[in-house]
Amino acid sequence: MTFSGEELMRREIIITMNKFRNPSTFYRAINLLASGRVDLKPLITHRFKIEDSDIGFKTLQRREGMKVLIVP
């Protein structure tokens, strides 16, 4: 990827990157979920049957939902 440093400064664009991941972070997150200390269910805003998956994708495209779950 190439970009102009001048363009970044002119438009006041900030780029933040993280190349390295700490493997323990993944395991800590899994443990938090498994222990019930973090509940992700409220993040699921819509549920659709698999035959209505096209509606689910359109919901996401229109940015009307945070997480759309497609269930069999």
Q: Measure Cα distances from 68 to 16, 17, 33 in Å.
A: 28, 27, 19
Supply the pLDDT for residue 22: 75
Spatial contact of 32 and 54, defined as CB atoms under 8 Å apart? no
State pTM to two decimals: 0.51
Number of domains composing the chain: 1
Residue 52 has pLDDT above 90, yes or no: yes
Of the candidates 51, 49, 54, the residue with the CA atom closest to the CA atom of residue 69 = 49
pLDDT per position as a tens digit, 6-49: 887 888 888 777 666 777 888 888 899 999 998 888 889 999 99
Domain extent for 38: 5-71
